Amino acid sequence: MTTRFTWLKTIAYSGALALVITGGAAKAELAADWQGTAIELFNAEKWPGAKRQRTLAILHTAMFDAANAVEGIYTPYAYTGPNNPDASAEAAVTQAAVHVLSTLMPERKDELLAAAKQRLANLKNPQSGMALGQAVAEQILAARASDNADFSTEYTPGPAEAGVYQRTSTREMVAPKIREMTPFVLASATHFRVPPPPALDSMQYQRGLSEVVELGGKETQTNEENVFIAKLHAGSGSGAWNQIARKSSVSCDLSMLEEARTLALLNLALTDALVAGFNAKYEYALWRPQTAMEALGKSYKHPTLKTNMEWSSLVPAPMHPEYPCQHCTSGSAAQEVLESVFGDGQMAFTFNGKGGLSKDYVSFQQFAEEESESRVLGGVHYRRSNAVGDMLGYQIGSYVAETALQPLKPINTTNKCASSR
């Protein structure tokens, strides 16, 4: 597995619900099919990102455990009941998905049951698979019932002093309480320790601020390619990596079980990266470059930057503290997980971002590194925050890939791309 130590030098699922109802998705893409349904409902309900991510982790671990309870190849995430090799895996996955989603989104239960009914109508004798999927889903939901998930947005910033995070807009804060949620795989939110940010009077911080002012400002960044990269990745995060995983699963012809495992591993890593990253963010509460620039000549002095200079970030700063970079943490974690499945060689794919922006890539590493760089180019992160986020994500992704959903014995994968590992 390639490490990310080199740091030292969502597609919209339009029509996804209709696809499930009509049974138009291939059997091997069942987990992606249900993810599409979930995302469409998240959008309709305007769920915040942290709530979406927790739900995806529960959904995908349930679908994986359901498929695995038929084949019995891997260590389950939460299911402790007996396997049933005679059951329909598709029925088990479908029932696990619909029970998880209808429990967490009771207002959409009728739509979900209609989707499941149409899917199950194409199967012969689905009853035993449905019973298995129901049992799996109930255990997964029970395991997460007391995980202290809190998606409230109330937050009182610290004193308006140099270095202390202050709101950068009137938008709601993002998940200030998610740091208290029990991770899915990590022992705690501080399983991997994050060092404190550099002191404001250190050369490292001063260089970092100078760099982001030069590269990431609306008034200072004129390179069209850099502007494109900043805007392409501005809203990427976990949605981007799920899109990449879905496309890679199709191109590598994964079986239904392997596809379910891939998406489960990915969303376990992304959710734990969110918990760990936000734990550090709200613990250190470092100000954004925008706030530092507004404080020049007032509460903060910089050896080279001029006071009262006009500067604003190329992309809007997310509504949470700056350190460490969450795009970087999530991206590095995702890269490690996907490389554990597909190998660390070339993997060509196209990323479709928001606003009609898209770009071709040749590897997971290329995407992750560009995603990280985009946060400096966008004017919302310092270089040090990127490096620390990259490292934290690498640790989380490696840990998840090496400890969760492991094979019970050596297996021959159905992944035609795995030879590059």
Under a CB-based contact definition with an 8 Å cutoff, are residues 89 and 119 in contact? no
Helices (H) and strands (E) in the chain, counts: 14, 2
Pick the closest to residue 235 from 323, 315, 332, 321 (CA basis): 315
Pick the closest to residue 238 from 14, 48, 384, 33 (CA basis): 48
Angstrom distances, CA of residue 313 to CA of 205, 303, 310, 400: 17, 21, 11, 34
Q: How far apart are the first and last CA of the chain?
A: 7
Q: Please give the CATH topology (third level) of the domain spanning 10-146+173-190+198-420.
A: Vanadium-containing Chloroperoxidase; domain 2 (1.10.606)
Pick the closest to residue 238 from 144, 164, 328 (CA basis): 328
Burial of 69 (0-12, 13-18, 19+ CB in 10 A): buried
Under a CB-based contact definition with an 8 Å cutoff, are residues 100 and 58 in contact? yes
Under a CB-based contact definition with an 8 Å cutoff, are residues 319 and 172 in contact? yes
Structure tokens at 140: 């997964």
| pLDDT at 27 (0 to 100) | 53
Angstrom distances, CA of residue 315 to CA of 234, 386, 405: 7, 16, 38
Instruction: Determine the Cα–Cα distance for residues 244 and 240; give it in Å rounded to an integer.
Output: 6
| pLDDT at 308 (0 to 100) | 85
Chain-centroid distance, C-alpha 367 = 14
Instruction: Determine the Cα–Cα distance for residues 241 and 331; give it in Å rounded to an integer.
Output: 7
Structure tokens at 252: 């590598």
Q: DSSP assignment, residue 234?
A: T
| pLDDT at 28 (0 to 100) | 63
pLDDT by residue for the chain (421 residues), tens only, comes to 333 333 332 323 333 333 333 333 335 699 999 999 999 999 999 999 999 999 999 999 999 999 999 999 999 999 999 999 999 999 999 999 999 999 999 999 999 999 999 889 989 999 999 999 999 999 999 999 999 999 999 999 999 999 999 999 999 999 999 999 999 999 999 999 999 999 999 999 999 999 999 999 999 999 999 999 999 999 878 999 999 999 999 999 999 999 999 999 999 999 999 999 999 999 999 999 999 999 999 999 999 999 988 999 999 999 999 999 999 999 999 999 999 999 998 999 999 998 899 999 999 999 999 999 999 999 999 999 999 999 999 999 999 999 999 999 987 766 778 754 4
Instruction: Determine the Cα–Cα distance for residues 349 and 339; give it in Å rounded to an integer.
Output: 14
Instruction: Determine the Cα–Cα distance for residues 53 and 262; give it in Å rounded to an integer.
Output: 15
The amino acid sitting at 234 is A
Under a CB-based contact definition with an 8 Å cutoff, are residues 282 and 320 in contact? yes
The amino acid sitting at 166 is Q
Chain-centroid distance, C-alpha 51 = 12
Handedness of CA 60, 64, 65, 70 (dihedral sign): positive
